Structure 1
Amino acid sequence: MPHSRRRLRRVLAALAAATTCLVLTNAPPANAADPAPSPAPTTWSVQPSTERGPDDRPFFRFALAPGARQVDWVAVTNAGDTPLTVDLYTQDAFTTAAGGFDLLAAGRPPADVGSWIRLKQTRVTVPARSRSDVPFELAVPDNASPGDHSGGVVASIAGPGRDAAGNQVLVDRRVGTRVYLRVDGPLRPALGAGALNADVHTALDPFDGALTVTYTVRNTGNVRLGARPELTVRGPRGLTTKRQRLDPMPELLPGASQTRTARLDGVTQAFRLDVDLTVHPIPVPGGPAETGSTAHARTTVWAVPWVVVGTSALLLAVIASLLVRRRRQANETTTHENDRNEQRAGAPGSGS
């Protein structure tokens, strides 16, 4: 097989040379249509706590059985010089298009773990440079599905801002802390890969083509998982192979998907190319050690080395022209010899 690859590279190179001589902020990502809040420093924070004050937990993490209840506390800290009143609520989480962790907007009623939490207070006034520890109860429904459920506790303040047109609007500024709940039962870590498309970018150098590949990875299981995608591009009979690891996806919530685009340079334009996507599941903090099997997707594209094709066509045309010219010359020579023979046969004194 290595000899075949070397032969292919030598042939393509020769033909090419011939042609050459010829803060968890839970607000959605901003966009042009979103209101732009007036500049204002964030002077409050939200974090896991106890009845005596914040502890060292970076976020809430629970492992409970269906029907179980858990009491906990959340701290709202005011770092400003004046009293602060915030609205406190809970919400379900989702994976953003960019792969981040975010919470649904305040106006959407939660349907998962965000609806299973009952806060003792939903509006809190915190004195300047002080803190308020608010208790809450998490009650897991009897019919809760096993696996991971994600959400958050949010403290928000509505304030004046301006939209893209300069109009005065009311903007909801919010900060929060994550809530990860694992409900007891069978765990099914699983990823799916699909929607694989590849666009070819040809180049004069047949070894320097490129592919723009778009792909989707989905968490089809019931636990949080990370993903490490890898692309492999193979030529006919495996004569050429290009492998590239892609940027990892740190966390996909159950049911979430992420679509990404990657570019592979240095791809040999070997006519038919098989593009394989392999997605390796990777564990996340607090996730199970068992991550399930790898996921695969495949597509085929045509990467025609036009330099090679053009060179080959030109060489064939030159060879054909030489053959035609040689045959014509041979025919002319034969004709001249026949004419001379006829002239000799018809000359006086010839014959017996």
Structure 2
Amino acid sequence: MRKVLVMLFVALNVAIGVPAAAADDVPWSVGTADNGYGAERPNYSYTLNPGGQVDDALVVTNRGTTPLVLAVYAADGFTNDRGQLDLRAKDAKSTDLGAWVHAAQSQATVLPGKSVQVPFTLTIPADATAGDHLGGIITSLAQAGDVDRRLAIRIRVRVSGELKPSAAVDDLKLRRSKSDVIVTYTVSNTGNAIVSARPSVSVAGLFGTAQAEAGDTPQLLPGESWKVSTTVREVKASPRLTGKVTLLPLLTDAAGSTGTLDTVSATTHTWSITWLASLLVLALCGATVIVVRRRGAADPGSDADDRHDGHDVPEERDGEVARQDVSTS
């Protein structure tokens, strides 16, 4: 049976940076240790060189009335389908920061009303890529019904080296829905820093341009992508539509300050089947009129050629009628 994980985000959500605290429905809390790295830190944040190492600690407090035995482990971070930072399950293999963090113990026993410190060591591999790496250290309580309840604190590391934040927009498509146009696209973090993006969408046709503002994407780890669908309202019918998405990448540093990068954009086109059919009908009608007129000019009809009964029509000259003889054989 698949184990259900209930993640309680404590200082884990990158976007809002909630301070370390206890969740109301669990009997314990987690926090950072007060040491040389600071007091009352909301989460763990380090800048280290490849091959560097740091020793720190997690504080676990039992707010309940019975002893707790909690599993302690680290895991890689990722952005889930709801746009929130999440951490890999214990049985999922971590290949990045989750593999660099090692707790001094795999379990912590905490008596009611007491706190314990769980030391951990973070070691950066010598070949670690420069830029941002994200994960967390987790405390977990197995409960009945195959449910695993977790409480965690974020760990963010910036490995020294050239920082190359960037984003891209791909897979841009347009789809007409009555008077609206639905624009779908994918925002990708193509750099080595954590970024989000602010998209701006426009659809242009023969009779003007309509625009829509989309909300900011969640913060994306390097290599992650986020699918977006934006509806542009009241787009006038046109034989050809041009869709454009412009991204303003947003870079948030470890201190929480947000800056902007150069915009990037992508463009696509689509043809309206209704308009193409109308243009085809008009073209066929125009071609039919031209053919009919040409045939009429080539065959004037009986009014232009006034011959009858085998005789020529008399020719009038100077008020007289001159008749030509007609020979028959």
| Structure-1-length-normalised TM-score | 0.70
- Per the alignment, residue 154 of structure 2 pairs with 178
Identity %: 33
Cα offset, 1:49, TM superposition: 2.0
Cα offset, 1:292, TM superposition: 3.9
Gaps of 5+ in 1: 1-22, 28-39, 162-169, 203-208, 336-344, 346-350
The SS at the match of 2:76 is: strand
| 291 and 189 in structure 1: CA distance in 2 versus 1, 3 angstrom threshold | farther
Which of 206, 210, 230 does residue 262 from structure 1 map onto?
230
Cα offset, 1:295, TM superposition: 2.3
Cα offset, 1:298, TM superposition: 1.8
Which of 270, 278, 281 does residue 301 from structure 1 map onto?
270
Which of 60, 77, 85 does residue 101 from structure 1 map onto?
85
Deviations 1:52-100 (A, max 9, x none): 9x94322111111112211111111222121111000001111223322
| 223 and 283 in structure 1: CA distance in 2 versus 1, 3 angstrom threshold | same
Alignment size in residue pairs: 288
Q: What code does the residue aligned with 1:187 have?
A: L
The SS at the match of 1:57 is: coil
- Per the alignment, residue 245 of structure 1 pairs with 213
Which of 224, 239, 243 does residue 275 from structure 1 map onto?
243
Deviations 1:317-345 (A, max 9, x none): 9xx9xxx9xx9xxx9xx89xxxxxxxxx9
Which has the larger displacement, 191-200 or 260-269?
260-269
Cα offset, 1:51, TM superposition: 5.6
User: Are 1:283 and 1:291, in contact at CA under 8 Å, matched by a contact in 2?
Assistant: yes
Cα offset, 1:309, TM superposition: 5.2
The SS at the match of 1:250 is: coil
Which of 147, 156, 159 does residue 140 from structure 2 map onto?
156
- Per the alignment, residue 20 of structure 2 pairs with none
Q: Which of the pair is proportionally richer in helix? A: 1
User: Are 1:269 and 1:305, in contact at CA under 8 Å, matched by a contact in 2?
Assistant: no
Tell me which structure has the larger Cα radius of gyration. 2
Cα offset, 1:142, TM superposition: 1.6
- Per the alignment, residue 71 of structure 1 pairs with 55
The SS at the match of 1:251 is: coil
Q: Counterparts of 1:139 and 1:158 in 2: how far apart (Å)?
A: 28
The SS at the match of 1:128 is: coil
Q: Does 1:190 align with 2:171?
A: no
The SS at the match of 1:267 is: coil
Q: Does 1:218 align with 2:188?
A: yes
Alignment of 1:120-159 (within 5 A): 120-159=104-143
Q: Counterparts of 2:45 and 2:172 in 1: how far apart (Å)?
A: 35
Q: What code does the residue aligned with 2:217 have?
A: M
Q: Does 1:233 align with 2:218?
A: no
Gaps of 5+ in 2: 1-7, 13-23, 305-313, 315-320, 322-329
Deviations 1:255-282 (A, max 9, x none): 1111122222111112200001111101
Q: Counterparts of 1:196 and 1:97 in 2: how far apart (Å)?
A: 20
The SS at the match of 1:174 is: strand
Any runs of at least 4 consecutive aligned residues in structure 1 with deviations exceeding 6 A, and if so which? 287-290
Q: Counterparts of 2:171 and 2:138 in 1: how far apart (Å)?
A: 35
User: Are 1:250 and 1:284, in contact at CA under 8 Å, matched by a contact in 2?
Assistant: no
Q: Counterparts of 1:177 and 1:26 in 2: how far apart (Å)?
A: 5
| Structure-2-length-normalised TM-score | 0.74
- Per the alignment, residue 29 of structure 2 pairs with 45
Q: Counterparts of 1:70 and 1:41 in 2: how far apart (Å)?
A: 33
- Per the alignment, residue 348 of structure 1 pairs with none
The SS at the match of 1:150 is: strand
- Per the alignment, residue 165 of structure 1 pairs with none
- Per the alignment, residue 24 of structure 1 pairs with 9
Cα offset, 1:283, TM superposition: 2.0
Deviations 1:133-191 (A, max 9, x none): 22212111222111001000000111222xxxxxxxx2222121111000110000010
Cα offset, 1:305, TM superposition: 6.3
Deviations 1:185-227 (A, max 9, x none): 000001011011121123xxxxxx1112221011010000111
Q: Counterparts of 2:44 and 2:223 in 1: how far apart (Å)?
A: 21
Q: Counterparts of 1:266 and 1:86 in 2: how far apart (Å)?
A: 56
Q: Counterparts of 1:309 and 1:45 in 2: how far apart (Å)?
A: 67
Which of 65, 74, 98 does residue 90 from structure 1 map onto?
74
Cα offset, 1:294, TM superposition: 2.1
User: Are 1:26 and 1:102, in contact at CA under 8 Å, matched by a contact in 2?
Assistant: no
The SS at the match of 2:228 is: strand
